[in-house]
Amino acid sequence: MKLIPTDLPGVVIVEPAVFTDERGWFSESFNEPRFHAALAGLGLPAPRAFLQDNHSCSHAGVLRGLHYQLPPHAQGKLVRVVKGAAFDVAVDIRAGSPHFGRWTGVLLNAENKRQLWVPEGFAHGFVSLEDDTHFLYKTTDVYAKDCERSIRYDDPAIGVQWPLPPGVAAALLAAKDAAAPLLAQADLPPLR
Ligand SMILES: Cc1cn([C@H]2C[C@H](O)[C@@H](COP(=O)(O)OP(=O)(O)O[C@H]3O[C@H](C)C(=O)[C@H](O)[C@H]3O)O2)c(=O)[nH]c1=O
């Protein structure tokens, strides 16, 4: 496994080792000791244990986000795409962070097998770039609807440059994602 820092401190790309032979390929999608050691190598803290695995499937142009959960159920997320493609985005929303409101985006797809580590204190979302995009992720806390918050994906104060797949004029959103902008959020996670 190799970690590649993004331009947003704390958010890193995970490139798992892939072993190819005449049968196909094998890859460890998660290995806690190796993940923790690789994070330590970048001076980053090990996350809490992952408590939940999620799997969603999206049509081309579907945008899920920007979402986060507040303490005591803040979630770190280790995300990947196993079929299709997605542009995955993390935003630092920790009150007091020197990088508050900054975002980074990474192409995740079945071919590059890349993952993105999004720590607690960051909002997360993605836009699906193909039909039938299967998005899998581990979270460091369980789903807690009362702690869940949404930030509008096109908040000009954040300025995410969302790509859209060919033929899609506008992102396809759930009603809950026509949300408030970042600076209108009533409560934001603390900088730990
Ligand atoms: C997130 C979640 C949802 N649900 C139920 C609640 C709804 O009845 C249904 C769909 O939930 P939602 O519309 O919140 O799903 P997404 O829009 O994909 O939400 C996710 O979108 C972005 C990408 C994130 O980073 C979060 O993990 C999460 O907020 O599944 C559960 O039962 N457990 C869960 O952990």
Q: What is the value of ipTM here, to two decimals?
A: 0.98
138 pocket-lining for ligand 1 (C-beta < 6 Å): no
Q: State the sign of the Cα–Cα–Cα–Cα dihedral 10, 45, 42, 50.
A: negative
Q: Whose CA is nearest to atom 17 of ligand 1?
A: 64
pLDDT single digits (tens) 116-144: 999 999 999 999 999 999 999 999 999 99
pLDDT of residue 27: 98
Q: Does residue 19's CB lie within 6 angstroms of at least one atom of ligand 1?
A: no
pTM, two decimals, is: 0.96
Taking CA atoms only, the protein residue closest to ligand 1 atom 32 is: 143
192 residues of the chain, pLDDT tens digit each: 999 999 999 999 999 999 999 999 999 999 999 999 999 999 999 999 999 999 999 999 999 999 999 999 999 999 999 999 999 999 999 999 999 999 999 999 999 999 999 999 999 999 999 999 999 999 999 999 999 999 999 999 999 999 999 988 899 999 888 888 888 888 888 887
User: Quick one: pLDDT at residue 147?
Assistant: 96
Distance of alpha carbon 8 from its chain centroid, rounded?
12
How many angstroms does the Cα of residue 56 sit away from the middle of ligand 1?
8
Q: What is the pLDDT of residue 182?
A: 85
What's the CATH number for 50-185? 2.60.120.10
The CB of 57 under 6 Å from ligand 1? The reply is: no
